[in-house]
Chain A
């Protein structure tokens, strides 16, 4: 049975509600001072992990739609992706504002110096480009280039999980789980990575 447009609307509503629920949950943690003694760090982690969760969900859409033969599900992909970008922006904003007090020069210095920050910034830039080009008009105008660009989301997720893995001192279990889920989702796109390899090889031969 194919899901109806009505069911799609329900799924989208659930996505909106969970995104706003998370915002309220965060507000509640802040309001009641439940973020512990080092609240800025706690909040940055919370925002980053939420962005990552939405990114993984975004990448789950295509395999799910194909596997379940539910093409309508594809229509949730942009929504999830944009929410991921919104969380990533909050993550970056809180880091710049509460952690670094807008010392932009120091920020740029650190991004260049620390591999985990370089990867995080890389992931955010990719998400920025994808968010800007997510409108239908641009998708139509860009034609094939749009698909080439939007496949960079695979690199964004890879950068993001490594960024998380390298940012912690210990307690590697959770980042490892994220890394495994990411690799599992990317394994669904092995053709893309194979074609990259093939292309670069054929270039060398030429």
Chain B
């Protein structure tokens, strides 16, 4: 039997620093010091930045709640599997333009957590023989869901590579049997200022005339690349990414890929899309990714790719015509002056 007689100078068990704490001592001291220095600078305007990382902290209205996504069954579309690197899921979920929830890039993640996607109703109407209404279950079960890795290029000159889940828009439009007079497709986002804070306040929502509208030519809409997405990274969409159903048109700037769609209308006139209405000299109807046509205020020749890593890992890459989908879509624009019809 070991009899331990404690000397006065021996440390008690309770006085010994836990090994893990010991190992982290530098970062703990650093965090404490910076917290002390920086607390006076933390203003409510910056709260969004902090909530990103302290998930459920802010209890005000509907901010800070993480939306629960569920797993989806899907097939891999073998034509669209070779893209790398893929943007980390966290960055796809936390860096969004969705002014319905606020104009800050982190606002949609922060304020969309309690957005209701079920029940949902998506209507396909206009110049069709059979108008259709799909509910939430229809969206997830009526079509074969496939995974496609697509490039996403924002008009603000940043890009991501995203593993979307969804089905081609063509299969849905076919179900509705378009009339021969149908030439264009108009898309409309949900209008619900109670749930979408930016729609209720022009200060929060960037002064946009809601609901958000987008449009495609019918031949663009039924191109096999055009996707109606219901998920990403193996799960259903989060509201900040356009849940429960959004458009993905990978050869056009991101703003064409309208989110949280409630109505798809076939028409004979070109719809005026929201950004075109706001600034017709800066944003056109087509908005095809084109390194040779600058935005009037900035270059579109290259882009910042959002991938792994932090500040010092930023990579710039050359922007490709039609975002790299030239082979699939260039034929759609034969004879069209792309500098004029931007």
Which A residues form the contact surface with B (CB < 8 A)?
21-22, 24-25, 27-41, 43, 98-101, 110, 113-116, 166-167, 169-173
Contacts and interface: CB of A to CB of B under 8 A. Distances in A.
B99 A41 contact: no
Nearest to B316: A101
Interface in B148-198: 155-156, 158
A98 B313 CA distance: 9
B95 A36 contact: yes
Interface majority SS (helix, strand, loop, mixed), chain A: helix
Given A28-B34, A171-B206, A98 B158 contact: no
Find the residue from A31, A115, A116 having the highest chain B CB count within 10 A: A31
5 contacts: A29-B49, A113-B299, A114-B299, A167-B297, A170-B103
Interface string B197-215: 0000001001100000000
A20 to B, nearest CB: 9
Contact of A39 (B50, B155, B311): B311
B94 interface: yes
B298 interface: yes
B41 interface: yes
B103 A114 contact: no
B41 A25 contact: yes
B105 A21 contact: no
A114 B304 contact: no
Interface string B280-298: 0000000000000000011
Contact of A114 (B34, B37, B99, B297): B297
A24 B37 contact: yes
A171 B107 CA distance: 13
A34 B50 contact: yes
A114 B99 CA distance: 26
B72 interface: no
A148 to B, nearest CB: 33
A27 B207 CA distance: 34
B314 A34 contact: no
Nearest to A29: B49
B297 A38 contact: no
A36 B312 contact: no
B258 interface: no
B306 interface: yes
A21 B95 CA distance: 27
B20 interface: no
B52 interface: yes
A107 to B, nearest CB: 11
Nearest to A43: B311
Given A98-B311, A169-B155, A36 B37 contact: no
Contacts of B298: 114, 116, 167
B311 A30 contact: yes
Contacts of B17: none
Choose among B50, B91, B99, B298 the residue with the greatest number of A CB atoms under 10 Å from its CB. B298
Contacts of A172: 207
B106 interface: yes
B53 interface: yes
